[in-house]
Amino acid sequence: MPPDVPLSIATALYRIAQEALHNAQQHGEGAGVRLALLGGENELRLIIEDKGPGFDRAEQQKDGLGLLSMQERVRLIGGTLPVGTEPGSGAWLLIRVPVAG
């Protein structure tokens, strides 16, 4: 993490990564997970993807708080969190957070 990233953003990204890795471990059926943190002049991107069974977003909304808590953390630091998944095809998260250049 670049040293000029505010502690609030660094902490939020760390907690999001923790939750995403926990979810992948719990639901990914032992499939591989890739995590990358990429920095640019004006944003940080945290990418997490797994090759697990994926999930139905509508059903997940009823059952779990993990994704909801990640979305709330991202919202609080001014970022975005698209999620890609469908049953049988794994899942990915792309967290984008603006940072000062």
Position 97 scores a pLDDT of 96
Q: How many domains does the chain have?
A: 1
Q: Assess if residue 1 is contained within a domain.
A: no
Domain hosting residue 71, numbered range:
7-98
Position 101 scores a pLDDT of 61
Q: What is the pLDDT along the chain (101 residues), one digit of tens a residue?
A: 555 889 999 999 999 999 988 888 887 777 788 999 998 888 999 999 988 887 766 665 555 677 889 999 999 999 999 988 877 788 889 999 998 76
Position 74 scores a pLDDT of 96
Q: Assess if residue 26 is contained within a domain.
A: yes
**Cβ atoms within 10 Å, residue 75:** 12
Position 48 scores a pLDDT of 93
Q: Assess if residue 18 is contained within a domain.
A: yes
- DSSP letter string over 14-52? HHHHHHHHHHHHHHSTT--EEEEEEE-SSEEEEEEEE-S
Position 63 scores a pLDDT of 57
Here the CATH number for the domain that contains residue 21 is: 3.30.565.10
